[in-house]
A = this chain, B = another copy of it.
Amino acid sequence: MTDRPRPLRADAARNRARVLQVAYETFAAEGAAVPIDEIARRAGVGAGTVYRHFPTKESLFQAIVADRLHQVVERARALAAADPGEGLYAFLFLLAEQGATDLGLTEAFAGTGFDLTEALPEAEREFMGTVAEILAQAQQAGTVRPDVDAADIKTLMVGLQAMHRFRGDSEHMRRVYPLIRAALAVQKAEG
């Protein structure tokens, strides 16, 4: 796992971090179609520098997605630990909000021109594992119906991200969240 033979020179590490940050912002704002040259320009480095740290454009994209995914999973765990019954809803709406501002992540999730499962199988597994865990807790707490599984939740996440992106970060989504809660709530004597 220690796949960094040496800890990278200080200036190189700074550049790498800068490229990563700029690339994250740029992909988030404009999607994966942004040229590498543009990212290099915004980061104030030459294109070659980007390629030194990330051998292909796709690898840069992957690095960003993996990073975001990891952060999101960590936050999800914290939320679920704080309140198991609400954990799944908090997770769901957290990811939805990410989707509003992070086009790159949305594309990765939805598989639009980038296959998360194939490109980052480990990250995908970690993510799905966390979903399953948090879902089980919520089902035990009685806040989520027992007949949905982790795949269903991922599907809903993709949908929610799309909705959020469509509507922006506005108050509109606050109208939609209760609908999603109703969708997942334990059903009382289904009519």
> A residues within 8 Å of B by Cβ?
31, 109-113, 148, 151-152, 155-156, 158-163, 165-167, 172-173, 175-176, 179-180, 182-185, 187-191
Selected from B162, B176, B184, B191, the residue in CB contact (under 8 A) with A110 is B162
Chain B residues positioned under 8 Å from A151 (CB to CB):
172
**Secondary structure dominating the interface of A:** helix
Closest chain B CB from A85 CB (angstroms): 12
- Docked-complex contact A188 and B185, CB < 8 angstroms: no
- Docked-complex contact B176 and A155, CB < 8 angstroms: yes
CA distance A173 to B158 in the complex (A): 13
Chain B residues positioned under 8 Å from A152 (CB to CB):
175-176, 179
Chain B residues positioned under 8 Å from A173 (CB to CB):
155
